[in-house]
């Protein structure tokens, strides 16, 4: 059994992780921590766990948890993990970080976009970007995993075959993405109150969203040259889900058959990526509660642009499910272990 600890278990992503771990046949949960609910049973915070998970939420002590656990999940705000994870910790346990602290290789880029001085730059070279479909072999050997962001997971996977196979003009990429409100976390914020979100949709952090450099960095690796994109996120009045509509200009004479071949090459054997047939496009309702990524595309011959649509559940493949997928790779398990549930509908 893999002994696991969850730091930050009472946020939305943390609670989703607990849900997935409890159905995992090779996992034993050693400890759950929380800042706001120390001393409370987990089911007192999330009543859906009543008579299922009665662990008491403890105060965070990463040193003690590292001694007890084979892997520690850190579901904490950006800027925290980098100050807590050390080489000494990594000698005792593996760490999967949900935040952005170890996703970007250049600490100056991190500081520019997050407005924080990086707390652990010495670990950036060791950290592995945990997008399993792309970095599977590196993940297997890692001690520190940077679990990708939700917008980034959907955007990168939707676009990567086009960039990697040189089918599009890399200067023309636009990502228009929509997210459910749970992506903003469980903290109190006027912008995510019911009356502020319901019956409305809004763009936010226009040309300034923190996931932009993460998408650019990974696409640049795939395309072997710097990729700069336009990325606009939107908040939609639903609990879960991300839909990314991605645009790019095709290079001259690129055909649909070539595009289909590229997606099959990269994802044809990927369990969690479902490629849609021509004329059928993803919707967030068909991935809710699952670790699947749905991808479909069309070519606008009038403008010579390709339009790729990707959909994920932001709390599963965009956070907790991807973390479990990473854990499975770290410990030599089948990648789908504990993640084979179909999407829920209606939800």
246 touches 296 (CB < 8 A): no
With b meaning 16 or more CB within 10 Å and e meaning fewer, what string describes 212-236? bbbbbbbbbbbbeeebebebbbebb
Each residue's pLDDT tens digit, 118-160: 999 999 999 999 999 999 999 999 999 999 999 999 999 999 9
- The percentage of the chain sitting over the pLDDT mark of 90, rounded to a whole number, equals 95
Residue range 246-261: mean pLDDT, rounded: 98
Output the pLDDT for position 186: 83
pTM, 2 dp: 0.96
242-249 and 202-203 beta bridge pairing = unpaired
Each residue's pLDDT tens digit, 7-29: 999 999 999 999 999 999 999 99
| DSSP labels, 9-44 | TTSHHHHHHHHHHHT-TTEEEEEEE-SS-TTSBHHH
Output the pLDDT for position 194: 86
> Rounded to whole angstroms, how far apart are CA atoms 183 and 206?
17
Output the pLDDT for position 135: 98
Output the pLDDT for position 284: 98
Question: What confidence tier does 202 reach under pLDDT thresholds 50, 70, 90?
Answer: very high
73 touches 98 (CB < 8 A): yes
126 touches 102 (CB < 8 A): no
HSE-up (13 A, CA, CB side) for residue 239: 10
What is the rounded average pLDDT for all residues in the chain? 96
Output the pLDDT for position 99: 96
Count other C-beta atoms under 10 Å from residue 131's C-beta: 22
Nearest to 169 by CA among 250, 98, 93, 282: 250
Domains and CATH numbers, the chain: 2-126 (3.40.50.720), 151-312 (3.30.360.10)
* pLDDT > 90? residue 204: yes
Q: Give the single-character DSSP code of 166.
A: T
> Has 57 been annotated as catalytic?
no
Each residue's pLDDT tens digit, 290-318: 999 999 999 999 999 999 999 999 999 99
Our CA angle for 147, 150, 153, nearest 5°, is 75
Which of these is catalytic: 57, 69, 132, 150?
Answer: 150
E strand or H helix at 300:
strand 293-300
* pLDDT > 80? residue 188: no
- The percentage of the chain sitting over the pLDDT mark of 70, rounded to a whole number, equals 100
Output the pLDDT for position 105: 97
Each residue's pLDDT tens digit, 37-96: 999 999 999 999 999 999 999 999 999 999 999 999 999 999 999 999 999 999 999 999
> Rounded to whole angstroms, how far apart are CA atoms 101 and 124?
9
Output the pLDDT for position 347: 79
């Amino acid at each position: 059994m893999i002994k696991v600890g969850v730091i930050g278990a009472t946020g939305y992503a943390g609670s989703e992780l607990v849900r997935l771990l409890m159905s995992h046949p090779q996992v034993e949960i050693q400890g759950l921590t929380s800042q706001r609910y120390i001393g409370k049973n987990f089911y007192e915070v999330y009543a859906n766990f009543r008579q299922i998970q009665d662990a008491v939420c403890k105060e965070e002590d990463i040193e003690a948890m590292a001694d007890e656990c084979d892997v520690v999940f850190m579901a904490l705000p950006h800027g925290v993990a980098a100050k807590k994870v050390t080489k000494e910790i990594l000698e005792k346990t593996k760490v999967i970080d949900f935040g952005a602290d170890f996703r970007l290789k250049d600490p100056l880029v991190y500081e520019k976009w997050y407005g924080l001085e990086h707390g652990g730059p010495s670990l950036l070279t060791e950290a592995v970007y945990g997008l399993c479909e792309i970095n599977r072999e590196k993940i297997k050997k890692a001690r520190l995993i940077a679990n990708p962001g939700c917008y980034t997971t959907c955007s990168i996977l939707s676009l990567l075959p086009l960039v990697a196979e040189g089918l599009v003009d890399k200067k023309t990429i636009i990502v228009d993405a929509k997210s459910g409100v749970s992506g903003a976390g469980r903290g109190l914020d006027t912008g995510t109150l019911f009356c502020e979100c319901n019956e409305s949709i809004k763009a936010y952090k226009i040309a300034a969203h923190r996931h932009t450099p993460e998408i650019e960095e990974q696409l640049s690796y795939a395309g072997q040259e710097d990729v700069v994109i336009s990325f606009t996120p939107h908040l939609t009045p639903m609990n879960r889900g991300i839909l990314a509509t991605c645009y790019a200009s095709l290079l001259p004479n690129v055909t649909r058959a070539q595009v289909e071949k590229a997606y099959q090459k990269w994802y044809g054997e990927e369990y969690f990526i479902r490629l849609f047939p021509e004329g059928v496009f993803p919707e967030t309702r068909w991935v809710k509660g699952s670790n699947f990524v749905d991808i479909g595309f069309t070519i606008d011959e009038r403008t010579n642009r390709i339009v790729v649509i990707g959909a994920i559940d932001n709390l599963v493949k965009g956070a907790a499910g991807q973390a479990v997928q990473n854990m499975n790779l770290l410990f030599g398990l089948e990648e789908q272990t504990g993640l084979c549930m179909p999407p829920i509908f209606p939800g």
